[in-house]
Structure 1
Amino acid sequence: MKVNRRNFIKLSAVSGLFVAGASQTKPALNAFTKNTEAAAKNEPQGEWIASTCQGCTAWCAVQVYRINGRATKVRGNPNAKANHGHSCVRSHLALQQVYDPDRVKQPMKRTNPKKGRDEDPGFIPISWEEAMDIIADKIMDLRKRNETHKFSVWRGRYTALNGILYGNMPKIIGTPNNVSHSSICAETEKHGRYYTEAYWGYADYDHENAFYELMWGADPIASNRQVPHTASLFGKLKDQAKIAVVDPRLSTTAAKADEWLPVIPGEDGALAIAIAHVLLTEELWYKPFVGDFKDGVNRFEAGRTVDKEDFEEIQTHGLVKWWNIALKDATPEWAAERSGIPVEQIYRVARDFGRAAPRAISFMSPGSNMVVRGGYTAQAMAALNGLVGSADNVGGVICGGESCPVNSFPDFEKYIDPIAANGNSMPRADFGGRKLEMPAMNAGNSGGIKPTNTIADSILNEDPYSLEVVMSYWTNFNYSNQGTERWDEALAKLPFMVHMTLNPAEQTHFADIVLPVPHHMFERLSAVRGSNGNLYRHCHIQNEIIESPFDVRIDETEVPWMLGEALERKGFSNLIDYFRNEFVDPETGKKPTNGKEFNEIATKIYTQPLWDPTIEKQGDVINGWEEYKKIGTWNSIPYRFRQKWNGNWGTETGQFEFYSETLKKALEAHAERHNVNVDKVMEATNYTARGELAFVPHYEPAYRVGDENEYPLIFSDHRSKLNREARSANTSWYQEFKDADPGDEAWDDVAKINPIDAKKFGIENGDMIKITSATGSITVKAKLWEGTRPGVVTKCYGQGHWAYGHIASLDRKKQIARGGNNNTILAPVHEALSGSGARHGGQSRIKIEKV
């Protein structure tokens, strides 16, 4: 992207250290620098300022060391109880992100009307005022045509202020089409918890008191949230507990575990069901939680049904039904044939897990259930916590937590005019709920989830209409969704798109307006309310630690404010009137007069219950806004176990549900919406269950795309401990230390192949190979590695950028990627009940050939 001379001089003065490295494919790293004169005199160098890392969904509180206006170091915030005052490697990588010379530095406008990967956008610099006028004109044109529903906001990484840009602004303009990245993140694991104990969210785990942890595709000392928390306790956990990891790849955690179960991808459900079978047949369920046979005689015998009248449950519902419908024949011998795990290991793990009850954790992750048919797998994994009594118990799993009191933003209903009301009433562009084959149920509500990856199909097929104007922030959907070529085609067809981004990325290439945004951790003020961790709820602050060297505006507040002003100049003042009239500083009573003031007031409104000592709460007492910004976090009181016990589970029965009346109600509601029965829903969503089987956790055979004869291997995707949500590939530290992930290589992107398979297909270590699926192909280097299960090719997600910068790409100008993007070969299929993208579990079959 071009910059004008004035900005070039400004940017060049920021940091001379990038001048040499910017032209190198592999920049040199220097860990040592000379002491400054001030340091020699022991004079203060700088100060630690609170912020929040959003490198994953743990959202850990951190502190950043600032010297002479520059961010230089990162550490965990010692005031944060959720992460023990620690941070992981992801937070440190952010330093290279914020000072990345490849960042978008000022607003840009497309001059080439043709869109396509092979088209040069011809971006030229423009002012923020011109950018807002162009966007406002597009929105006003939709209003004139009474078609505001063709406007859409797409959300990637966000803060607590997203309720303005993503939540309220689209409604005032008049569209139901605000689309989040959430369905490509982790919705299926939430599905599993909700239909057993009515909790839609991320779980917390009492590692400190656990005696056994069964980790389903989870690698919690490297990825999958709460890394600082888990890593800081892992030594203690290893001393007191056994750890078993179910994963086709020898992950960091699997390498340190007592048991590694290299499952066939997508067949985790067979293992979970078989473990439940053993717990019942060998009388290892936790009776104080589940209950017992009335005469004390165990009747759970393989192949035999049980009379439900013989069993008396305590905290649970439907155990005998579950046994009769799905468990009685699910022996370890049966599961071994499907999962590829030896019978004796299944028995051993099941017995050890049961003997540790109730301090036994079934720890699920997206890697095990973000697959086609993964919803019931997630339910089975959650149900194991019920069987061993670890649900909401010491040494177990916490689904919920103490409250983190925050305010909602002011009501906006009176600013919705008839044109906007009409737009809001239109059907959504995504398929969630409105398609029989896509229930996408959030907390039991049909269509409660917006399946991100269906938007490409909606645009291509104009179903139910064509989107025309899109504002997208911190997204890169044609890189991060399966079936990337569909997205390239869809974005090329989209008439007008605004991309608000840190780096020019693959999605930027198709944009009409590009807007530079601040880095969350260093250049903006906001609040971030994370999920529970270490038994605490928390809400952190992101301070504006440095003045950005670039011409950025805050995406969630300043951009809507400026757009509101531009719309006002064109005759539509509702948006800016809402901001000016309804947002009032809770300390001073002042109303905002510009975007910067609006951002601070919105943050103060949201967080007031945390820092206002006059508002009663259970947790830290903070004396005022300035003290909150300095401390950087608010912590609740620690979780009090067994809050859900004795009828407080929130399910339809009030109990922990093995037979899910909650799911039955949700499925029947979706079926009724489409005038069919539940069996038709199961058929449409690619599930094999019929009848009562649809209401209990059960085994579903893995769904594969591609004929086994043509595509003999299974592809399995995994995440890196260095991935800041796939946004760190343009940092030299990411590339230099990539071999910290087991089996991977520095400055490379390798497909890990078991030597048995390599010999079969004539592949040697270091060969360049082409990986082809029914969806697409990529070319990467082969790595022979016994840490991959035979029959499976594993590869880390995060490389393969062709438009992200001079480090992420081998040649940005020629669009030559470093490695391959997994989503190019992953089929665009879904776990339909939750609306989750199926990015794991080996749904894509592949073939490999030497290049």
Structure 2
Amino acid sequence: MNINRRSFLKASALGLAAVAATGVTPFTAVADESHKPNQTGKWTATTCQGCTASCPVKVYTQNKRILRIMGNWNCTATGGKICPKPHLAIQQVYDPDRIKTPMKRTNPEKGRGVDPGFVPISWDEALDTIADKLMELKKNGETKKLAFQKGRSTGVGDVLYKKFNILFGTPNYFGHGDICAEAEKMANWATEGTFSYHNYDLTNTKCFLMWSTDPISSNRMSGWASSVWGKVMDGAKIYVIDPRLSATAAKADKWLPIIPGTDGALACAIAHVILTKGLWNKKFVGDFKQGPWNYELTDNYNNKANLFKAGETVDESKFEYNQGYGLVRWWNLALKDATPEWAADICGVEAKVITEVATQFGKYGDASCSWQSPGTNMQVRGVYGAMAANALNGLVGSIETKGGVFRSASASTGKLPDHNHFRDSNARKAAKMKAIDGRIRKDFLNYNGKAIHSNETSSRLADVILQEDGHYEDGSYEIKMLISYWCNYCFSSTGAQRFERAYAKVPFYVNITTMPSESAMFADILLPAKHYMFERWGFMKASQGLYSYISVQQPVITPLWDTKTDETEIAWELAVKLKERGFSNIYNYYSKAFCDPETGNCPTNAAEFAEIAVKIMTAPAWNGKNAKQGTDLGSWRNFCSKGCFNSKKMGYKKHWGSLGQDTGKFEFFSESLKTLLEQVATQYKCDVNSVVESMGFEARDGLAFVPHYETPVRYGDEKTYPYIFEEHRARLNLEGRSANCVGYQEFKDTDPGDVAWDDVIKINPSDMEDLGLKTGDTVEVTSPQGSIIVHAKAWEGTRPGVVIKAYGQGHWAFGHVAAADFKNFKPRGGNNNDILPCDWERLSGSTARHGGLTRVSIKKVEA
């Protein structure tokens, strides 16, 4: 982005205006004065949770105020670098719209735009009210009618999320995994044997295929990626496959504006070219056993024939495998006819471009990297396309090689104390009950890397609540009480309107939050949480590049308001209230099983409990037990001072020969997925085809076990809804939590094609002409799910026939900056989830929101 004098002055004015208006340190934080000898400030380590990278940071405070944030220079993975997002947290913590004290609802009516009539109450009154409701459920034998939802969390999240609910006696506790990119993990597991996201050796990669990946804006290593991307561009060929011209695509060697949802076809065509040209990595995958040399391009590896010829079936007995498995079956089932010409008709990328990209990718071999993002895998049929994208890494042998893809390095954490001794008969009975999210079904595999039906589908809770019988199968009961924290499903879940209706229906709803979110507007009791980065104890485990780290969150400043830590302090206080009412199991577990690893003392109050829980979970990182894995910190105090434990660098080819599957190899034909689907078929007394069909996939027989192209699912017919809708994450979007920051709004145009203080839908100029629109026109965007009102923006960086919008705007609550008129619940722009239908990728349970899930119509309306 070019910054001229006017833009610089504009940014400076923003900072001065923010200080003048609120007395708060702005996004453009004041300069570091810590080098001056008369300064009394200090640096304190903590962790950002603005995205899943969870970068360790250092925070500079002076006179008990936060002045500056930097990357933690003790972190090997990030090298002390961070992206812009953490700086917005300063505005968050000092946000005047924060929830400052417990509140209760006085207006029984619930709905979008309905004033809850919140009035302040004491913590005692709030906790007493909640405890009374919990005990009412217990007295009536209805503990299962308590449901719990969490969104983002720290490493001690299970203290409240699982342990509290298990001991109380409900199986209905749900995390946010199903609205995350679990399909990517599933694809990696099915091919490579690791149910996890990839890490990347960025600075050594020579050729990138970036599947809707925009590393400097949104990924799981954005801090480090942002700091090294200049070097990456200098050393690598970069091909970005994305219907949107992202910041990364704008600087790439080639932008491939693909038709959304057709990634699998393009990946299969690239694989077809690599195989027919003989460019696969023979040392990693294997090779044909005999025959004269006839490769089109050679690496002088051997003198054997290439039998991969377009349209021809290959005899697998003629192929000898090394680290690969089932390549010939993949070819026969899905690739032999997947020519560039075939793919070009499907995905809208020219055949000659496909051939060029595939040839370059194969040429650079094991220093090539196929890097997928949620845009590839968070589709209704996304796993198979994601498998194809990862199979390209297997083809060129870039699994744990210099410049290749990696799993996370080891960095062990502790475990929470065993709770079994503290369970009563009711809790033991509840442990055998099915959760009400309907995950245990033939049409939902919901695999989480350990067992089928184990990935929680929290976004389905709305549908369960809204059903008349309140349950999907075998036994019906209503949810009488719901508690949620650090989540805003009325905004963040596809088909968001479902949660508005569901939360309005629940008899008693408790919301724990820092901000007056959309979901909070439906609460009966609202509890204020401490800010995750500056006011609480917690920890995070994450990885970037070839390193993993465990980093602390600790109080940097004294909490500004009458708030408590959601996962620990509120859990403790509720346990105390339940004990006062005769149910002491949870309190006994917290107060007797949690012992300080240093002193052996058990907690006597909420503050002690919060710190001890973190000490227990991070103990291996600071007591020397992880010394073989990385840093030897020596003490809890040193851990808090340094801020993080660093793993050793992930070794090259560490898992070759034992990639995690039963075969121990990279599975182009996934025996692991085959076994899993056969297990489900046995459970439901049917065949695999019936299982796959029930989950909405097109594949039958052997095709269900290999990477392949599946026709994208799109809601809405083309005649009524002529444009494919696609979304992306705003660069300054802290998972939907930064929209009330003036820095987010003022610098919204850091996203190519976007506009500051606005919400635009980006439309190709040719489509704008067809629609009779000009930039700035107010338009209604309608899908089968709903409608939003935004502004039109003509932008060449959008593929014709596709309209694109950033996610993050459209809050009708969340504060005076996020909303256009907070008092009257008028949103600033539109929420993408109001027009995205709710559907899932059913092998993993991941929510589908990409791949052109819905079509939309666009019409001009009066402003």
2-structure distance, mates of 1:232, 1:304: 47
TM-score (norm 2): 0.94
In structure 2, what is the equivalent of residue 734 of structure 1? 744
2:363 to 341, 355, 360: 355
Q: Are 1:396 and 2:404 an aligned pair?
A: yes
In structure 2, what is the equivalent of residue 326 of structure 1? 334
What is the Cα deviation at residue 447 of structure 1? 1.1
What is the Cα deviation at residue 673 of structure 1? 2.4
Contact 1:393 1:641 in 2 (8 A): yes
2:710 to 692, 697, 700: 700
Q: Are 1:410 and 2:422 an aligned pair?
A: no
1-structure distance, mates of 2:674, 2:160: 35
In structure 2, what is the equivalent of residue 187 of structure 1? 182
What's the CA shift string for 1:765-793, capped at 9, x where partnerless?
A: 11111000000000100000000000000
2-structure distance, mates of 1:450, 1:133: 30
2-structure distance, mates of 1:445, 1:233: 38
Contact 1:538 1:634 in 2 (8 A): yes
One-letter code of the match for 2:235? Answer: Q
Q: Are 1:574 and 2:600 an aligned pair?
A: no
Question: What is the Cα-based RMSD across aligned positions, in Å?
Answer: 1.9
Q: Are 1:111 and 2:123 an aligned pair?
A: no
In structure 1, what is the equivalent of residue 859 of structure 2? 849
In structure 1, what is the equivalent of residue 156 of structure 2? 161
Change (3 A) 1:759 1:18: closer
Q: How does 1:639-650 map to 2 (within 5 A)?
A: 639-646=650-657, 648-650=658-660
What is the Cα deviation at residue 254 of structure 1? 0.5
What is the Cα deviation at residue 148 of structure 1? 1.4
Change (3 A) 1:325 1:135: same
Change (3 A) 1:146 1:425: farther
In structure 2, what is the equivalent of residue 312 of structure 1? 320
What is the Cα deviation at residue 481 of structure 1? 0.6
Q: Are 1:86 and 2:81 an aligned pair?
A: yes
In structure 2, what is the equivalent of residue 251 of structure 1? 246
Change (3 A) 1:843 1:300: same
In structure 2, what is the equivalent of residue 264 of structure 1? 259
Q: How does 1:195-210 map to 2 (within 5 A)?
A: 195-210=190-205
What is the Cα deviation at residue 679 of structure 1? 1.2
Change (3 A) 1:641 1:267: same
In structure 2, what is the equivalent of residue 59 of structure 1? 54
2:614 to 578, 603, 606: 603
What is the Cα deviation at residue 114 of structure 1? 2.4
Q: Are 1:753 and 2:763 an aligned pair?
A: yes
Contact 1:81 1:635 in 2 (8 A): yes
1:480 to 486, 492, 512: 492
Determine helix, strand or coil for the equivalent of 1:243.
strand
Q: Are 1:666 and 2:676 an aligned pair?
A: yes
TM-score (norm 1): 0.95
In structure 2, what is the equivalent of residue 10 of structure 1? none
Contact 1:370 1:831 in 2 (8 A): yes
In structure 2, what is the equivalent of residue 814 of structure 1? 824
What is the Cα deviation at residue 34 of structure 1? 11
2-structure distance, mates of 1:117, 1:761: 31
2-structure distance, mates of 1:278, 1:640: 31
Determine helix, strand or coil for the equivalent of 2:537.
strand
Once structures 1 and 2 are overlaid, which stretch shifts more, 231-240 or 619-628?
A: 231-240
Contact 2:437 2:458 in 1 (8 A): yes
One-letter code of the match for 1:486? Answer: R
1-structure distance, mates of 2:116, 2:686: 48
Contact 2:203 2:235 in 1 (8 A): no
Q: Are 1:829 and 2:839 an aligned pair?
A: yes
Once structures 1 and 2 are overlaid, which stretch shifts more, 246-255 or 601-610?
A: 601-610
1:500 to 492, 512, 534: 512
2-structure distance, mates of 1:19, 1:204: 40
Change (3 A) 1:444 1:561: closer
In structure 1, what is the equivalent of residue 546 of structure 2? 535
What's the CA shift string for 1:438-479, capped at 9, x where partnerless?
A: 211111622121122211101101114322212111100010
What is the Cα deviation at residue 603 of structure 1? 0.9
What's the CA shift string for 1:333-378, capped at 9, x where partnerless?
A: 0000000001111000000000000110000110122011001011
1:365 to 363, 369, 373: 373
Determine helix, strand or coil for the equivalent of 1:491.
helix
Determine helix, strand or coil for the equivalent of 2:548.
strand
1-structure distance, mates of 2:830, 2:49: 25
Determine helix, strand or coil for the equivalent of 1:277.
helix
Determine helix, strand or coil for the equivalent of 2:511.
strand
Change (3 A) 1:578 1:190: same
Determine helix, strand or coil for the equivalent of 2:69.
strand
Contact 1:431 1:450 in 2 (8 A): no
What's the CA shift string for 1:181-218, capped at 9, x where partnerless?
A: 11111111111101011111121001121111111011
Contact 2:366 2:403 in 1 (8 A): yes
Change (3 A) 1:538 1:270: same
Determine helix, strand or coil for the equivalent of 1:715.
strand
What is the Cα deviation at residue 94 of structure 1? 0.5
What's the CA shift string for 1:680-726, capped at 9, x where partnerless?
A: 22222221111111010000011110011100100001001100001
1-structure distance, mates of 2:788, 2:448: 34
Give the aligned length.
828
What is the Cα deviation at residue 42 of structure 1? 5.0
2-structure distance, mates of 1:522, 1:22: 19
2-structure distance, mates of 1:568, 1:210: 58
1:509 to 504, 511, 521: 521
1-structure distance, mates of 2:121, 2:16: 26
2-structure distance, mates of 1:443, 1:58: 21
Q: Which runs of 5+ in 2 are unaligned?
A: 1-14, 291-303
What is the Cα deviation at residue 118 of structure 1? 4.1
Change (3 A) 1:566 1:375: same
In structure 1, what is the equivalent of residue 300 of structure 2? none
Once structures 1 and 2 are overlaid, which stretch shifts more, 172-181 or 674-683?
A: 674-683
Q: Are 1:455 and 2:461 an aligned pair?
A: yes
Change (3 A) 1:16 1:272: closer
Change (3 A) 1:18 1:336: closer
2-structure distance, mates of 1:367, 1:65: 37
What is the Cα deviation at residue 17 of structure 1? 8.6
Q: Are 1:612 and 2:623 an aligned pair?
A: yes
Determine helix, strand or coil for the equivalent of 1:781.
strand
Once structures 1 and 2 are overlaid, which stretch shifts more, 612-621 or 487-496?
A: 612-621
Determine helix, strand or coil for the equivalent of 1:544.
coil
Q: How does 1:422-433 map to 2 (within 5 A)?
A: 422-432=429-439
One-letter code of the match for 1:409? Answer: L
Contact 1:143 1:419 in 2 (8 A): no
Contact 1:146 1:423 in 2 (8 A): no
1-structure distance, mates of 2:727, 2:29: 36
Contact 1:81 1:534 in 2 (8 A): no
What is the Cα deviation at residue 764 of structure 1? 1.0
One-letter code of the match for 1:209? Answer: N
In structure 2, what is the equivalent of residue 12 of structure 1? none
What's the CA shift string for 1:781-826, capped at 9, x where partnerless?
A: 0000000000000000000000110000010111100000000000
2-structure distance, mates of 1:443, 1:40: 49
Q: Are 1:466 and 2:482 an aligned pair?
A: no
What is the Cα deviation at residue 617 of structure 1? 2.8
Contact 1:110 1:121 in 2 (8 A): yes
One-letter code of the match for 1:815? Answer: F
One-letter code of the match for 2:154? Answer: T
2:597 to 570, 579, 586: 586
Determine helix, strand or coil for the equivalent of 1:523.
coil
1-structure distance, mates of 2:289, 2:25: 71
2-structure distance, mates of 1:710, 1:91: 42
1:776 to 755, 772, 786: 786
Contact 1:84 1:228 in 2 (8 A): no
